[in-house]
Structure 1
Amino acid sequence: MMNSQPVDPEAVAPVATDMRADAGDVQLLARMGYKQELRRQYSTPQVFAIAFSIMGLVPSIASTLSFSLPAGPVGMVWGWFTASIFILLVGLAMADLASAMPTAGGLYWWTHYFAGPKWKSPLSFLIGYSNTLGLIGGMCSVDYTLALMILSCVSISRGDGWSASRGVTYAVYVGLILFHGLCGSLGGRLMPKIQTFCTYINIALVVATVIALPVGKVTRGGSLNSGHYVYGHVGNETAWPAGWAFMMAWLAPIWSIGSFDSCVHMSEEAMHASKAVPLGIVWSAGSAFVLGFLVLSVIAATMNQDVSATISTKFGQPMAQIYYDALGRDGALAFMAVLCVVQFLIGLSLVVAASRQAWAFSRDGALPFSGFFRHVSKRIQYQPVRMICGLVFVSILLGLLCLINSAAANALFSLFVASNYLSWGTPIFCRLVWGEDRFTPGEFYTGRFSRLIAWVAIVYLLFGVILSMFPTEGPSPTCTYLNTAMFLDRWLTIYLTEALNMNYTIVINGFVWFGCMAYYFLYARHWYTGPQITVDESDYTPSDNIIVAADPHALPTDELVSFGHKRE
């Protein structure tokens, strides 16, 4: 039991927290080598809300229907169900690590801690960059989808078949990215309350969609699709075999339930982090599994059985067409407007999570201009404002992909998947192969099933990375040619077609993965040695960003070696 001493309320900013839990949080963070720099203000439900709001079930399902619709109702509904089970297992494996070692840069920190001596620094360097890129990809894909949603509302309201050009879409996207950056920088103290609001509005939107779609369909004289159609009809609007089209439908839940690592990045702002963070991971993944299955079942029951008509809708968004068919013009506009609000909040939450990961990586000196970007603004409510601005700039550059075509824009979705899945799987793999004897469970632990869960998670994550690289429309065509001239002419046609429709994920991720490894071995290996010690003698005293109860049993900073750090 900790002994607490009264803290002068004038010496610190008033933060309503559990003082004992905060003292334990600071000590655990210090044992990992870091001093407390961000403000601890997130409760367990608010940590959960970060991940749950980023998932934003109905907007995320709307964003990814183009991945699952081509496989028909079976791909939509059962694809979500099966993939979600594996995703939940990944969440459990990550929760074990997050409870034991909660820090904002958790994924690359765990990799460095568990990996073998020769692999610590290069793997940590790779995962830090991959995770940062994945979160930036999430920012881009969310705001790109939001731009499409807003423009689909314009199309519905005009009623003349108008559709936005790529240039207009990009302009709206840039405006949204800039606005998100501004809100993320200035709204730090309000963010926990915003996350709570996000939870309520997301659940309300799920309930409203589940009720309104069937009621509207029947009221307008339509009929609901049969249970056999919803749960048993196999479709295939791709050039892939039907079985692989079903696997490609997994991209929808993979992308939608792909943000629970955001709880990890909020570790240094969470109260009682060793409990709050793992519960946030498991709750968010589990609730998305159940509620997503419900929403997709209702969508399959109310949508037009001519799937190709829904996919090629003039509104630019399949979900907009589904709302329009069931609820009419005004109902579709109302729901799409709410979807836009929720999607905006998703983007805001993602900016917060991404900035914390990138800030933590800069704190360890790994990103370019780390000394500049690691700064935390005390004037603007202890926010990493410079890092948020840097992420906005990179997102604007990556968004240029949407000017090419829809296939290039889809790379923003797959970029989020491939980079994050590599980042999630590597520390779990390192723990199993090199670091099991160094792993000490935290307050949350899956017990004797921990290793089995972790191995299943590894296999699934590897499959997910490979899946994200496949072109969504189908394989490349092949032909037999009678002469050289015909071959060259046909080959050039195929090449130009595939260049326009290829999946650009391998290009972008390959550039980052191989580029950062080249950067490491040619230059960074001389100075990057993993996470850096930042603790000092003031780490157990009250500060202006946290209320800490004094603990006479706190370890002296010279003994902070519990997690493998040594003072240099």
Structure 2
Amino acid sequence: MFKMHNEVSASASAPAPAPAARLANPDDSQLLAKMGYKQELKRQYSTVQVFAIAFSIMGLVPSIASTLSFSLPAGPVGMVWGWFTASIFIFVVGLAMSDLASAMPTAGGLYWWTHYFAGERYKRPFSFLIGYSNTLGLIGGICSVDYTLSLMILSCVSISRDSDWSASRGVIYGVYVGLILLHGLSGALTGRLMPRIQTACIYINMALVVATVVALPVGKVTRGESLNSGSYVFRHVDNETKWPTGWAFMLAWLAPIWSIGSFDSCVHMSEEAMHAAKAVPLGIMFSAGSACVLGFLVLTVIAATMNPNVSETLNSKFGQPMAQIYYDALGKNGALGFMIVLCIIQFLIGLSLIVAASRQSWAFSRDGALPFSTYFRHVSTRIQFQPVRMICGLVVIAVILGLLCLINSAAANALFSLFVASNYLSWGMPIFCRLVWGQERFVPGEFYTGRFSKAIGVIAVVYLLFGMILSMFPTTGPNPSPSDMNYTIVINGFVWIGCMGYYFLFARHWYTGPRITVDEPRSASSNNGTLAIENSREKTAFSEKGE
């Protein structure tokens, strides 16, 4: 499974600048230089901590709690088996991404790979589209996580008041803005502590998984109530939608699609990972694999302990189905205690996500693609080599996008839609480009799936296309009302069409793809530099085949 292919010849890279010596070891710096970039961020994340970034963002129990409304309408079968089947396909996507991440570990990986593999006439527009789609998708993730967290916090207030109080949309937005600002401040100032915070997140998330799996059935039995039968858990089908039952089951896939939607964050940490060619692919695989197994376990226990009447849980008076499940099994105090822990972990999810999103956005600014790129690509040496300006920019955008939650719940759900569809396009395009144009130019890294690599890529692309289409269906049924409408196609269509319009009207005159920063000045020709790197890779591939 693992092959060594990443030895870097002296002719393939320029000398690393002097400051890089204290930012990274020579092997990582040289591999990054081979892709045209000098080392600007500090490499301080171990393999475990790279995995922790993705695992923390997934935050299994809070993510499951956030997305039960997608899977509950199909009943226990939709929840349990929908998660299992979709997560297998998501793991295959992770394998395809790991091949690329090991070979070319850079913070802007998805759009960089697209530019490298795409046909000559498509390089610039495709990489421009993927860079913006990935950036805005991650911003949508920040918004959706903090919007959900604000609902969780306010549901705790509702539980404490025995559901006699519910928050207005203005209150929800106020809490949301406070969370965004707190995440931005924490992300900018905790650079040195962030790897340790991520390690702690592993233990906290695992502890919550164990506590949930143990406490729910014990609490149910202690209260004198029996658990649901195995037949109910694994075979009972509900359909609380107006879609056919089979399609309601497919829509239950939206829960794992959203929950296991952040392992590309490992890619965005590539330039801060130690031994990135190994750490990044392992982080991707471990996070996707653990989510598959642990999520299946948690959902099985939830199905065994929840109210058999799905509609009562789905329409909980607390505004959160998971809060109702905890309340039914553990009572008021137990539910309140677990929801507070969920809120803490959801906060850590948002913190990890803003870190990963800032690295992608910073990398895209480094290549001159975002407005005010010269300003936002700055790295603060005083604050532990953090892209502080980029983090502040993300905070401002998230506060503006959050205004959608003042309209109605359907508009707020557009934040989820932006995260899913934009990310799936961003994941699928570089894999597709490699299969169509770049198979011969691909030089494996330390991790490689070997002869299965092409088949894995094909399965990944087909699944991602299906997932994008699935994310655009209204979940309640055909002919939805304005409040039930799925605005994914509107939001993402605006993003994609607007991005391409911006490119062909303006950006094509100055966006030339990934820029070369190894050799100063930075204004050196991007095309010539990229071509030199590509020629170098082709020579390396040829020499390795010759061996």
Give TM-score, length-normalised by structure 1: 0.89
Q: Is the 8 A contact 2:404 2:412 kept in 1?
A: yes
SS at match of 2:241: coil
Is 1:515–2:486 an aligned residue pair?
Answer: no
Instruction: Quote the Cα distance in structure 1 between the aligned partners of 2:40 and 2:372.
Output: 19
**Residue of structure 2 in register with 1:202 after alignment:** 205
Which 4+ stretches in 1 moved above 2 angstroms? 11-15, 498-501, 536-539, 557-566
2:239 to 236, 239, 242: 236
**Residue of structure 1 in register with 2:472 after alignment:** 469
Structure 1 counterpart of 2:507, one-letter code: A
Consecutive unaligned residues of structure 1, counting only runs of 5 or more, are: 3-10, 478-497, 540-556
**Residue of structure 2 in register with 1:502 after alignment:** 485
**Residue of structure 1 in register with 2:93 after alignment:** 90
**Residue of structure 2 in register with 1:367 after alignment:** 370
**Residue of structure 1 in register with 2:40 after alignment:** 37
Q: How far does the alpha carbon of each residue in 1:16-37 deviate from its partner, in whole angstroms, 9 at most, with x for none?
A: x9x7xx2111001001000000
User: What is the CA distance between 1:12 and its match in structure 2?
Assistant: 7.3
User: What is the CA distance between 1:538 and its match in structure 2?
Assistant: 12
User: What is the CA distance between 1:239 and its match in structure 2?
Assistant: 1.0
**Residue of structure 1 in register with 2:147 after alignment:** 144
Question: How is 1:441-452 mapped onto 2 (pairs within 5 angstroms)?
Answer: 441-452=444-455
User: What is the CA distance between 1:367 and its match in structure 2?
Assistant: 0.4
Question: How is 1:99-114 mapped onto 2 (pairs within 5 angstroms)?
Answer: 99-114=102-117
Q: Is the 8 A contact 1:49 1:198 kept in 2?
A: yes
Q: Identity over the aligned pairs, expressed in percent?
A: 79
Instruction: Quote the Cα distance in structure 2 between the aligned partners of 1:558 and 1:245.
Output: 50
Q: Is the 8 A contact 1:47 1:280 kept in 2?
A: yes
Question: How is 1:431-442 mapped onto 2 (pairs within 5 angstroms)?
Answer: 431-442=434-445
Question: How is 1:134-213 mapped onto 2 (pairs within 5 angstroms)?
Answer: 134-213=137-216
Instruction: Quote the Cα distance in structure 2 between the aligned partners of 1:377 and 1:111.
Output: 29
Instruction: Quote the Cα distance in structure 1 between the aligned partners of 2:70 and 2:58.
Output: 16
Instruction: Quote the Cα distance in structure 1 between the aligned partners of 2:78 and 2:536.
Output: 48
Greater gyration radius: 1
Structure 2 counterpart of 1:227, one-letter code: G
Q: Is the 8 A contact 1:30 1:560 kept in 2?
A: no
User: What is the CA distance between 1:381 and its match in structure 2?
Assistant: 1.1
Structure 2 counterpart of 1:563, one-letter code: E
Instruction: Quote the Cα distance in structure 1 between the aligned partners of 2:451 and 2:100.
Output: 15
**Residue of structure 2 in register with 1:528 after alignment:** 511
**Residue of structure 1 in register with 2:55 after alignment:** 52
User: What is the CA distance between 1:562 and its match in structure 2?
Assistant: 3.7
**Residue of structure 2 in register with 1:124 after alignment:** 127
Is 1:563–2:534 an aligned residue pair?
Answer: yes
Q: How far does the alpha carbon of each residue in 1:463-490 deviate from its partner, in whole angstroms, 9 at most, with x for none?
A: 000011111111107xxxxxxxxxxxxx
User: What is the CA distance between 1:508 and its match in structure 2?
Assistant: 1.2
SS at match of 2:532: coil
Instruction: Quote the Cα distance in structure 1 between the aligned partners of 2:214 and 2:460.
Output: 35
Q: How far does the alpha carbon of each residue in 1:210-236 deviate from its partner, in whole angstroms, 9 at most, with x for none?
A: 000000000011110000000000001
Instruction: Quote the Cα distance in structure 2 between the aligned partners of 1:196 and 1:265.
Output: 17
Alignment size in residue pairs:
517
Q: Describe the shift of the 1:561–1:299 C-alpha distance in structure 2 as closer, same or farther (beyond 3 A).
A: same
Structure 1 counterpart of 2:498, one-letter code: G
Structure 2 counterpart of 1:301, one-letter code: A
Instruction: Quote the Cα distance in structure 1 between the aligned partners of 2:365 and 2:536.
Output: 18
Instruction: Quote the Cα distance in structure 1 between the aligned partners of 2:529 and 2:273.
Output: 26
1:216 to 205, 213, 219: 219
2:253 to 250, 253, 256: 250
User: What is the CA distance between 1:365 and its match in structure 2?
Assistant: 0.3
Q: Is the 8 A contact 1:533 1:565 kept in 2?
A: no
**Residue of structure 2 in register with 1:326 after alignment:** 329
**Residue of structure 1 in register with 2:4 after alignment:** none
Q: How far does the alpha carbon of each residue in 1:332-379 deviate from its partner, in whole angstroms, 9 at most, with x for none?
A: 011000000000000000000000000000000000110111111111
**Residue of structure 2 in register with 1:485 after alignment:** none
User: What is the CA distance between 1:13 and its match in structure 2?
Assistant: 11
User: What is the CA distance between 1:314 and its match in structure 2?
Assistant: 1.1
Instruction: Quote the Cα distance in structure 2 between the aligned partners of 1:538 and 1:221.
Output: 73
Instruction: Quote the Cα distance in structure 1 between the aligned partners of 2:160 and 2:173.
Output: 21
Q: Is the 8 A contact 1:32 1:560 kept in 2?
A: no
Q: How far does the alpha carbon of each residue in 1:182-237 deviate from its partner, in whole angstroms, 9 at most, with x for none?
A: 00000111000000000010001000000000000000111100000000000011
Q: Is the 8 A contact 1:161 1:314 kept in 2?
A: no
SS at match of 1:563: helix
Instruction: Quote the Cα distance in structure 2 between the aligned partners of 1:246 and 1:401.
Output: 29
Q: Is the 8 A contact 2:366 2:373 kept in 1?
A: yes
Instruction: Quote the Cα distance in structure 2 between the aligned partners of 1:431 and 1:13.
Output: 31
- Per mean C-alpha deviation after superposition, the further-off stretch among 504-513 and 441-450 is 504-513
Q: Describe the shift of the 1:558–1:349 C-alpha distance in structure 2 as closer, same or farther (beyond 3 A).
A: closer
SS at match of 2:43: coil
Q: Is the 8 A contact 1:407 1:500 kept in 2?
A: yes
Instruction: Quote the Cα distance in structure 1 between the aligned partners of 2:218 and 2:248.
Output: 31
Consecutive unaligned residues of structure 2, counting only runs of 5 or more, are: 1-6, 9-17, 523-527, 538-547
**Residue of structure 2 in register with 1:413 after alignment:** 416
Structure 1 counterpart of 2:325, one-letter code: I
User: What is the CA distance between 1:402 and its match in structure 2?
Assistant: 1.3
Q: Describe the shift of the 1:184–1:300 C-alpha distance in structure 2 as closer, same or farther (beyond 3 A).
A: same
1:397 to 395, 400, 412: 400
Q: How far does the alpha carbon of each residue in 1:235-257 deviate from its partner, in whole angstroms, 9 at most, with x for none?
A: 01111111111011000000000
SS at match of 1:458: helix
Q: Describe the shift of the 1:236–1:564 C-alpha distance in structure 2 as closer, same or farther (beyond 3 A).
A: farther
**Residue of structure 2 in register with 1:550 after alignment:** none
Instruction: Quote the Cα distance in structure 2 between the aligned partners of 1:161 and 1:75.
Output: 32
